[in-house]
């Protein structure tokens, strides 16, 4: 039986979403999100002094950024089937007017007007259960046009690219720098029978030599701000960009950043502490 290192970090739900990407980079491959605690797991055989030092360094910087006085505890535990326990909590969810997101292990009595998307998230972000994904899907449902060419930045599970095609887009490119995400996205695309419509790539945004009708960017504010010049260049005139991954407190910074580009805000939507914007490139 394997032994794992369990890293417990006291954090609220918002802070947990910001912590998980850092913990994945350190090497954690299992997570449990509780009300005020994030549990992260890594195989003990992979737990080195170097990883411990990096954990302390990376978490110190991140916790300062999110103004957290988190308590961190590290302990050893024996192997358990976290995935099976986690799968029990995932059920089909309806998003917007048309979309239903479900994992492969759950049945759903499909209504005629509903569009079914099968997503098995594994370690990648994007299940429909997080507010930022739901907000983006709601805007996508409204702004997608038949025949659109779509770019999904930070594709994660591939859910937004898959939804775009099922809502009428002609083609989609999903990009991500996480190898787990690339593998998971391709699996989900295959499960939805869309391999001929969606391409997944680890290309950087500045390496793409195409223009798109619609771009989705469900990523953090700092990344959005850094990518805005390239996003503008990759967008066709009057093209749509859907920005999500933003906290309520990010609104003014986001608006200030947008003012520096030929992009106007069309609509703002929110859920709990999260925001998303539909925007359009000017002529």
Rounded to an integer, what distance in angstroms lies between the CA atom of residue 214 and that of residue 50? 42
Residue 144 pLDDT exceeds 90: yes
Letter string b/e over residues 267-282, b meaning 16 or more CB atoms within 10 A of that residue's CB: ebbeeeebbbbbbbbe
State residue 125's pLDDT score.
Answer: 54
CB 51 within 8 A of CB 42: yes
Paired sense of beta strands 263-271 and 274-281, if any: antiparallel
Top pLDDT among 58 and 67 is at: 58
Write out pLDDT tens, residues 148-204. 999 999 998 999 999 999 999 999 999 998 888 899 899 999 999 999 999 999 999
CB 12 within 8 A of CB 20: no
Q: Where do we find the tokens 């050893």?
A: 76
The residue-averaged pLDDT of 249-261 equals 95
* Closest residue by Cα to residue 194 from 156, 152, 163: 163
**Cα 173 to Cα 13, 132, 208, 236, distances in angstroms:** 30, 20, 10, 15
Residue 126 pLDDT exceeds 60: no
State residue 258's pLDDT score.
Answer: 96
* Closest residue by Cα to residue 45 from 59, 27, 31, 58: 27
Residue 38 pLDDT exceeds 70: yes
Residue 123 pLDDT exceeds 90: no
Residue 143 pLDDT exceeds 80: yes
Any idea what the Cα angle at residue 79 is, between residues 77 and 82, rounded to 5°?
A: 105
State residue 225's pLDDT score.
Answer: 95
Q: Is the pTM of this model over 0.85?
A: no
State residue 81's pLDDT score.
Answer: 62
Rounded to an integer, what distance in angstroms lies between the CA atom of residue 162 and that of residue 185? 9
Those residues whose C-beta lies under 8 Å from the C-beta of residue 259, and which sit 6 or more positions away, are none
Instruction: Band the pLDDT of 79: cuts 50, 70, 90.
Output: low
State residue 122's pLDDT score.
Answer: 64
Domains, the chain? 3-86 (3.30.70.240), 90-281 (3.40.50.150)
């Amino acid at each position: 039986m394997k032994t794992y290192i369990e890293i417990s970090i006291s954090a609220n739900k918002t802070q947990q979403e910001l912590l998980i990407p850092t913990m994945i980079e350190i090497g954690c491959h299992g997570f449990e999100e509780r009300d005020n605690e994030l549990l992260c797991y890594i195989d003990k055989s992979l737990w080195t002094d170097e990883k411990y030092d990096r954990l302390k360094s990376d978490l110190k910087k991140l916790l300062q950024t999110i103004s957290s006085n988190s308590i961190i505890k590290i302990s050893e535990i024996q192997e358990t089937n976290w995935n099976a326990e986690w799968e029990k909590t995932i059920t089909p969810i309806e998003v917007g007017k048309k979309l239903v997101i479900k994992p492969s292990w759950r049945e759903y009595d499909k209504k005629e007007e509903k569009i079914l998307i099968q997503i098995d998230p594994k370690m990648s972000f994007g299940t429909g259960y997080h507010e930022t994904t739901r907000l983006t899907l709601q805007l996508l449902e409204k702004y997608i046009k038949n025949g659109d060419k779509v770019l999904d930045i930070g594709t994660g599970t591939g859910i937004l690219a898959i939804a775009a095609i099922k809502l009428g887009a002609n083609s989609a490119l999903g990009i991500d720098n996480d190898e787990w995400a690339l593998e998971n996205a391709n699996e989900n695309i295959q499960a939805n029978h869309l391999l001929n419509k969606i391409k997944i790539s680890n290309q950087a945004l500045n390496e793409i030599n195409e223009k798109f009708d619609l771009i989705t960017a469900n990523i953090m504010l700092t990344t959005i701000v850094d990518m805005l010049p390239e996003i503008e260049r990759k967008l066709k005139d009057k093209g749509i960009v859907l920005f999500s991954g933003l906290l309520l407190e990010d609104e003014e910074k986001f608006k200030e950043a947008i003012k520096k580009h030929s992009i106007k805000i069309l609509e703002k939507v929110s859920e709990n502490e999260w925001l998303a914007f539909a925007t359009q490139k000017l002529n």
